[in-house]
A and B are shown apart, each in its own frame.
Chain A
């Protein structure tokens, strides 16, 4: 099976390296200095207990790869529209595309373009980022992905995609992917935005009554929006989300805080922006998320440092 990974950042680079190590036929699509470094020296993965370097096939031109069996789309949410166009040469009639972005509506552009038989919304559970060109830093020990057809069906194509991933990666095929995406979204949309707005580690923020009430209130809004949108939301989701936040290291920064401090673009539209937009569509008020969204908008496209 031929695999292309669109976007060789923390998630894509880590997935690609694992698959290559397991002997899969993988090409990474990347750009700029990161691409050049990978072409010259391979992809290096740094982790707490050491590092390893994997030789990779990498290009910035999908037409040189041609149609593949499986595409893993791992670009940032604000790069999806561009990626959807540039990945056209990769997508043949039988190709399966797994989208692995944050948010709950990140697959919509792809679904519209390639249709529900070829696009499988999904999400990843890992903490990793580009440390320097050609180098990925893995902050979490584990990596897991979950994906599935929007209609919940398990088809021969989705089975084949799963079978090609599982030798290398902890992957799961879900029959209710919306519920999976919302469970993560419930935590990451408020968590990232509160973390970025307060410019303070969230684990420590929720040690104050004010910070804890704020996170719970924001998560409750997201849960209410999800329920109104017809998604199965785990009744314990908020308690689980809070426990997860409490379990993080004291000074853990979520990605949006790291991004705002570095002046990089934010995944704001896919996170708080989506809460606000979907909330309006289904008629659920989201005042806390509205405020977070309002105050982060000036930073959305990054700022010169």
Chain B
């Protein structure tokens, strides 16, 4: 399959490496030092069970690639409004796009520019990051869930699933991708918000009963917003998510890492989206409003505080 990946960070690099190794025609759209390194040395993927280097096409200009069968959209959400139009040269008559980002709004943002029919919302679970230009580390094995917005099991979706599975990527075709996005969003928006504002990793923070309660309250708010929007969600999601996080080994949330390093954060796609969507549908979101207010000065990276 001819595949273009927009955004070769932790997620895009990991998937690109695995898909290329399985023999797909993969092109990465990437910039700067990462582009130079991948052109020079190929893409190196360090996995829990070993590492490999694979040659892939890499460019900063989608027009050099032309129409493809599949686009994986894996940029950070705050880049969306700048890069969505750059996807146009990749779009042919049969091109599908899977959005694999945090938040619940990306597929709509892409749909507004490119038309909704070719967009399949998806979610990515893993822990992967760029170690240095051209080198991606996958700490926890990648897992993907995606599907058609109209709940059908389309031929194209089945084809894509086969390509992913053949590349060794654990892939699920969901009949309700919005539910998948929201399940991840409810957990992630709360976790990213509280661990960033507390500047404390989940393992340590959640030892404090007050922080556990706040985490659950934040998840309940996002759940209420999702339910009001008509998304089919399990009502015990806060409880289940807490169990899930308690069961994970020590890790640091990526927004917390971005904040700590002075980089831009996905605040607008997380707590910001809970608040925005809550307002639209008339659901109050005081905990996320609180988190948004205290994290706002750091949203675009290191604040100019003289």
Contact (Cβ within 8 A) B306 A198: no
Complex Cα distance A204/B205, Å?
28
Q: In the assembled complex, how far is the CB of residue A289 from the closest CB belonging to chain B, in whole angstroms?
A: 10
B114 interface hit (Cβ, 8 Å): no
Within 8 A of A (CB), among B223-269: none
Within 8 A of B (CB), among A262-305: 287-288, 290-291, 293-299
Question: A210-B296, A211-B293, A251-B305 given as contacts; is B211 within 8 A of A197 (CB)?
Answer: no
Chain B residues near A198: list those with CB within 8 A: 197, 293-297
In terms of DSSP, what is the predominant structure of the interface of chain A? helix
Contact (Cβ within 8 A) B210 A200: no
Contact (Cβ within 8 A) A200 B303: yes
B169 interface hit (Cβ, 8 Å): no
Contact (Cβ within 8 A) B211 A295: yes
Contact (Cβ within 8 A) A200 B305: yes
Complex Cα distance A208/B297, Å?
9
A213 interface hit (Cβ, 8 Å): yes
Q: In the assembled complex, how far is the CB of residue A278 from the closest CB belonging to chain B, in whole angstroms?
A: 16
Give the residue of A194, A210, A291 whose beta carbon is less than 8 angstroms from that of B214. A291
Q: Which residue of A lies closest to B304 (CB)?
A: A204
In terms of DSSP, what is the predominant structure of the interface of chain B? helix
B92 interface hit (Cβ, 8 Å): no
Within 8 A of B (CB), among A196-248: 197-201, 204-205, 208, 210-211, 213-214
B198 interface hit (Cβ, 8 Å): yes
Complex Cα distance A291/B286, Å?
10
Since A205-B297, A214-B294, A297-B208 are in contact, a sample of 6 more A-B pairs with Cβ atoms closer than 8 Å, ordered by chain A residue number, is: A197-B197, A210-B296, A290-B210, A294-B211, A294-B213, A297-B210
Q: List the 5 closest pairs (A to B, CB-CB), nearest first.
A: A294-B210, A200-B297, A210-B293, A295-B198, A198-B294
Q: Can you name 26 A-B pairs with beta carbons within 8 Å?
A: A197-B197, A197-B198, A198-B197, A198-B294, A198-B297, A199-B199, A200-B297, A200-B298, A200-B303, A201-B305, A204-B305, A208-B293, A208-B296, A210-B292, A251-B306, A291-B214, A291-B290, A291-B291, A294-B208, A294-B211, A294-B213, A295-B194, A295-B197, A297-B210, A298-B205, A299-B199
